[in-house]
Amino acid sequence: MRRYTRILVLLLPVPIVLGCAAFVTLKGQDKKAKKQSAVVLRRPDQATAAPTEHEVLDQLPIADAFVLEESDREKRIKRQSKNARHDNRRSREITEAPYPLNVTVNTHWWQGLAALPFADSDVVCLGEVVDSRAYLSNDRTSVYSEFTVKTEDVFKNQGELPTAKGSEVVIERSGGAVRFPSGAIQRYTTINQRMPLVGRRYVFFLKRVYQETLSLITGYELRGHHVMPLDGSVNPTGDKLPFDIFKGTVIDRFLDSIRAGVKGGMLVGIPG
């Protein structure tokens, strides 16, 4: 086979031109910086843009496929109890595939939900995500993620275990990533659902599923001066999700809608 080598030599003048634009590429020094760069480097006009599919997958909490059991008996029993609720989600155990694997569960989980689903929520709160972790179920058929949230305000609070303003709550959502000893990472998600990010502030709508366990129904990120729905904006049929009505809404107007909803008034929430 014949090979051709092309060499292109460009001779450029090197005068210093005042007012020229400088383009600087910043490379992250560690994996954490690399993960966050997709969000941090967005232009102002992208502030309310939904993350790309690649960004969504890259931001999933990661569970190691093989880890030692918790040594503390009480903590171990508590974790096993949480894991058990996610057993039998798939027909077989999660194992390493011979090729890159991203699995998406296709459901219509958003159907019937209001844009602000108070009726389906036991707790509605505003808070910052301070930690995120992923775990495998006991039978290793599924992965789920947990997020520790430090609450700033609690708008709705019902159930035997009340959520106090300023306290930390743990919320969970199905899905996450699994890392194998080879270094390969497999990702498991639900269509049109995203995971909240550490260091970000959200209004969360939560359902109590077992004692202190709160499941994430949906949420809204308070980004800059505006609101961004946590969950996807367009489903496979091209129909918009109910949460889109608040996309780009000024935060104060959005919070007014939340408070109106708590009081049983008409939900306003006009974007702007």
Choose which CATH entry (3.40.50.300, 2.40.50.120, 2.60.40.1080, 3.40.50.12140) describes domain 51-262. Answer: 2.40.50.120
**CB contact burial 1-36 (16+ within 10 A = b; e otherwise):** eeeeeeeeeeeeeeeeeeeeeeeeeeeeeeeeeebb
| Range of weakest confidence among 2-16, 171-185, 235-249 | 2-16
Give CA–CA dist 193/210, Å, rounded.
22
Please name every residue paired with 18 in a beta bridge, in sequence order, or none if there are none.
Answer: none
Give residue 47's pLDDT band: very low, low, confident or very high (50, 70, 90): low
Query: For residue 272, what pLDDT is reported?
Result: 39
pLDDT of residue 172: 97
The average pLDDT across 25-42 equals 38
In the chain, % helix, strand, coil (3-state, to 5) comes to: 20, 30, 55
Task: Give the position of tokens 């890259």.
Answer: 58
Q: What is the pLDDT of residue 48?
A: 57
Write down the residue that tokens 């490379």 correspond to: 27
Span 228-232, average pLDDT: 93
Confidence at 236, pLDDT banded by 50, 70, 90: low
Q: Given strand 176-179, what is the order of strands in its sheet?
A: 62-64, 176-179, 185-190, 102-105
Q: Which amino acid is at 266?
A: M
- Phi and psi for 223 in degrees, rounded to 5? -115, 110
In this predicted structure, the answer to whether residue 10 has a pLDDT above a threshold of 70 is no
**Hey, is 268 helix, strand or coil?**
coil
Residue 70, pLDDT score: 80
> Are the C-beta atoms of 268 and 161 separated by less than 8 Å?
no
For residue 19, pLDDT beyond 50: no
* pLDDT confidence of residue 6: 39
Residue 211 in tokens = 């004692």
pLDDT at 67: 85
Q: pLDDT tens digit string along 113-159?
A: 999 999 999 999 999 999 999 999 999 999 999 999 999 999 999 87
The pLDDT value given to residue 249 = 96
Write the burial class of residue 105 (CB in 10 Å: 0-12 exposed, 13-18 middle, 19+ buried): middle
Taking the C-alpha atoms of residue 193 and residue 67, their distance in angstroms, rounded to an integer, is: 27
The token duo for 166 is 């300023």
pTM: 0.78
- Domain positions in the chain: 51-262
* Average pLDDT of the chain to the nearest whole number: 80
**Burial of residue 148, with CB atoms counted within 10 A of its CB: 0-12 exposed, 13-18 middle, 19 or more buried:** middle
Q: What is the pLDDT of residue 233?
A: 65
Bigger pLDDT: 14 vs 254: 254
Q: Cα dihedral angle (168, 171, 177, 178), rounded to 10 degrees?
A: 80
